[in-house]
Each structure stands twice: as structure tokens, then as C-alpha cells.
Amino acid sequence: MAYSDKIRGTYQAQIKGIQDAGLFKEERFIHSPQAADIEVEFPAGSPLKKVINMCANNYLGLSSHPEVVKAAHEGLESRGYGMSSVRFICGTQDIHRELEHRLTEFLGTEDTLLFPSCMDANAGVFEAVLTKDDVIISDRLVHASLVDGIRLCSAMHDTIKHSDMGHLEEKLQLHAGKRFKLVVTDGVFSMDGDTAKLDEMVALCEKYDAMLLVDESHASGFIGKTGRGTHEKCGVVGKMDVITTTFGKALGGASGGCVSGRRELVELCRQRARPYLFSNTIAPVVVAGVLKVMDIISRSTERRDKLEKNAAYWRKGLTGAGFVLREGDTPIVPVMFFNAKLAQDFSRALYDEGIYAIGFFFPVVAQSQARIRTQISAGHEIHHLDKALDAFTKVGKKFDILGKTKQEIIAKYGM
Amino acid sequence: MADELKDIVLNYVTKEYLEDDSEPLTYDTPLISGGIVDSFSMVSLKRFLENKYAIAIPDAEATPEAFDSVNKIAALVQRFAAKKG
């Protein structure tokens, strides 16, 4: 027993500091399956409220799809609940390898290795394939899990301004003397919803003999004509050296992720990646569910086509109402408020109107870039989007920000 | 040399790290503690200084504190340039 008053007081002061800065995060308890319509208890202890979910990563609306749920049930019956093992001891079933083959085919790579999450995939991949003689050049807005993975690796790390290809070329020249160069980007950037210029990045990587890694967590299943991802949209399928992605978003939304790419790199992850070696295998029930997701998205593009139409409808509606949006053409549509308190107050007012959408602010996004990140789903119908649009407009009028520019919103509410 | 050195560092940091609509830097703007340069991105700055002034800054000396403003960086570079001379 060494948890003294001094220790407790120190941590209590830190928590209070987070609260005082207006950065304290509270969970909202959902009492229903994930879907466009959900039942939420918020604040804790309040009666349940039916709201429209506008902030899930459930892009294809498959999180509670009956076929996926049924396949998961069957997987549970036929392969059991848990494996009680990491993959390489006794945690690999036939369906784990089957899913790896399906993903390899879908992503257009040479091989794939499952991880408990994409966070784990990103945590493990760099250390497994790079040494201190190498350099990683990453976009400054890549996901935190990539940053953490890079930190765990002994390679030198340098960064480029967001999507700045001139800057990337300068850095590839600067680090010409390194043994290997690995360029790292998100496919779709999670906070801004814009897509990486993978075609230009591939050309630069070929010119300067560099490898390219892309995190496709916010792209796999729906970006590109058949939903294979940003590399399909950019016309460079087969040119990716490493793709990491998640099953926790469009691909069923449960959990799990993978490293997919060049055969040798994937094999080295199997031999060396610590989250693969020291963390439990993905539960059979999840693998069975993701296999069904692969069936659904391979037989038809209906869901990603609907998602694309929904996203365009939503973006047009918000623009017409007079909101400031981040430019883009993905289902991530950030509505900009710039001021953190305004974003939070707006989110609470939306909730009162039956719309669930969360404010994001520093340190999740840069200072003075507070926003509500809306995310569209194929599970949304037009009536959901119309109701959400009405609520955004009503609250927008109340806060008097409709038709206002960034400068005018900042002048009224501060940075 | 001191002012010229500071201006070279300031121009490099501005070009390398700032977006077009950012507030201009001063010699004392906190770069790392102020969130303008993240600790990863110091790599470029260190390499730039080493190449430009033909010095070697040991990793132990290239701390976030030592790189936290143009004035501090200039002092660091001058110290290593003097050692070399």
C-alpha cells in the first residue's frame, strides 16, 4: 500500500487541470446496437434518449447487419468463443488464415497478417522491418497510432507538411544516404476527411527508391470504385508496399486490424512484431464476422455507392445552410467552429435536438481548429440526414454562425 | 554572425514548419513547448544546422529545451561552431 495522499493528490490535480481546461472527455452510454438510430443514456443516470448517430465509423452500416450478426453466431458455434493463445502458439484457426487470404486479394497485395487492432499493427510494423540505418518520412497529420509505432522503432524519423509533395521530394533528397526510406501517410485523414495523393507519392517513391506505407483505416471498404481503398481511387493498386487497416470501422466495426503488403515485410512482422507475438489472437467470432463482411462488399458495391451519395447529399446540405466545412469528398465531413467551447456547446445543443455528433478540439486537432466531425454511413437514410440538417440549421441560427466566414466566427467566439 | 545566424534559423523554421496563415515567429517564440515544432520534426532542423555550419551536434545535446527558440538554437550552434574553430 503505497498510494499515499501525495500521490493521489498529484493525480487529482492533473484530472482537475484537464477539467478546468475544458478538455475532459465523458463517455455516453449507448443501450442499443450500433446503427443510425441509437438509444443513449447521457449524462449518466438520465433516461434513455433516441438520437441519430452522426459520428460513428460505421461507414458501410455493417456493424449490426443481420448477415454479419448471423455469421458471427455461426462462428461462435463452430469455432468457439476464445482461443486462449497468441497466434503462433495455438491461436491460429483455419479461418484466421482464410481471412488473411481474402484481405490480400481485396487489397491487391502479396500477403497479410492479422493483428488485434490496427493500433497494434501500426505499433508493430516499423520496428519489425526497419533499423537505425533507415529513415521514416511521415505526413504531419498521420494518425496517433502511426506516431506511436514510429516512436518504438530505432529508425530516424522526419516529417513533411500535410500532403505537400514538394516538401516530400525535398526530404527524400535530404535523406538519400539512408539504407532504406519509408514514406508514411494515412489514406484518408481522420480529422479532415481529405485523401492522400497516393499516385504522386508512388511516383516520388519510385524516383527516390523509397517504400510507401499507407494506413487505410478510414478508407478500406468504401474509397475507390469497388471500395478497395485510397490506392484504388488513385489508380495505384499493387504499388503499395505496406497497407495497414482496421476491421473496427467500415469492415464490421468490431475489432482487429492487419498489416498487408510485400511478402517479406509481412513475414518479418510474423516473426518480430511485438503486438503480434505478445497479444492474443483475434476472437473467432470476429473473424467469422469480418469474413461475411468481405462477402458482402465483394458481391456488390451497393453499400459504398449509397454511402457516396449520402455523403454528397450531406455535404451539399451543410454548405447550403451556411456552415464552414473542410473540403473533401469522403464520408468524413468536418464542420468547423474553430473555438473549442463553441464546438462543445454546439454538440450539446445538437444532442437536445436528437442528434449525436461530438466536438473535437486541441490536442486531438490543432489549436483554433475545433470542429464537429460528422461521419456519414450507408446505414443513414435521407430522412436521417434531413432531420440532422434541420437540427444543425436550427442550432446554427441560435449561435448565429450560418453564412459566417472563419474570420467572422473567430471574431464572434474567439480562437 | 549572431544576427545572421538567427535570421537563417528563423527563415528555415518558418519555411519548414509554419503554414501560410500562421503568426510570424520571433527569436523567442517557444517552438517545441509552443507546439510549432514537434520533437520528431527536430530531426530536419538538426540536420540542416549540421550541414549548414559543418558541425556535429550530439543527440544528448539536441534536447527539446535546447531547440525551443531561435535564440537558444543560435546559442547552441555558436557553441559548437566555436569548438570546431
DSSP, residue by residue, A12-39: HHHHHHHHHTT------EE-S-SSSEEE
d(CA A350, CA A398): 11
DSSP A385-400: HHHHHHHHHHHHHHTT
Q: Which residue of chain B has the CA closest to A139?
A: B41
B82 pLDDT more than 90: no
Low-confidence ranges of chain A (pLDDT < 50): none
For residue A158, give how far its alpha carbon lies from the nearest alpha carbon of chain B (Å): 6
Q: Indicate the pLDDT class of residue B1, thresholds 50, 70 and 90.
A: low
Q: Is the pLDDT of residue B70 over 70?
A: yes
Write the Ramachandran bin of A408: left for phi over 0, alpha for psi from -120 to 50, otherwise beta.
alpha
Mean pLDDT of chain A: 96
Q: Give pTM, 2 decimals.
A: 0.93
The domain limits of chain B are: 2-84
Instruction: Compute φ and ψ for A366, nearest 5 degrees.
Output: -65, 160
Annotated domain spans of chain A: 48-61+302-413, 80-299
Domains A48-61+302-413 and A80-299 fall in the same CATH topology? no
What is the structure's pLDDT at B16? 87
Give the Cα separation of A321 and A315 in Å (integer).
10
Fold of the A80-299 domain: Aspartate Aminotransferase; domain 2 (3.40.640)
Q: Give the separation between CA B2 and CA B75, rounded to whole angstroms.
A: 8
Q: Is the pLDDT of residue B2 over 80?
A: no
Is A174 an 8 Å CB contact of chain B? yes
**Exposure of A83 in the CB half-sphere (CA atoms within 13 A):** 24
Q: All 3 cell numbers of residue A397? A: 441560427
Per CATH, the homologous superfamily of domain A48-61+302-413 is: Aspartate Aminotransferase, domain 1 (3.90.1150.10)
CB contacts under 8 A, B 47-66 vs A, are 47
Q: What is the ipTM of this complex?
A: 0.75
Taking alpha carbons only, the member of A282, A296, A290, A292 closest to residue A93 is: A282
* CB contact (8 A) between residue A150 and residue B38: no
User: Cell numbers of A309, please?
Assistant: 451519395
Residue B85, pLDDT > 70, answer no
Question: Taking CB atoms and an 8 Å cutoff, what residues of chain B touch A157?
Answer: 40, 43
Can you give the pLDDT at residue B39? 73
CB contact under 8 A, A140 and B19: no
Catalytic residue IDs of A = 190, 218, 249
What's the rounded Cα separation, in Å, for the pair A155 and A241? Answer: 17
Do residues B27 and B69 touch, judged by C-beta distance below 8 A? yes
- CATH classification (class only), B2-84: mainly alpha
DSSP letters of A114-152? EES-HHHHHHHHHHHH--TT-EEEEETT--HHHHHHHHT
Q: Are A158 and B41 within 8 A, CB to CB?
A: yes
pLDDT of res. A4: 96
Is residue A160 a contact partner of residue A109, using CB atoms and an 8 Å limit?
no
For chain A, what percentages of helix, strand and coil (3-state, to nearest 5) are there? Answer: 45, 15, 40
Segment B54-63 shows an average pLDDT of 88
The one-letter amino acid code at A286 reads V
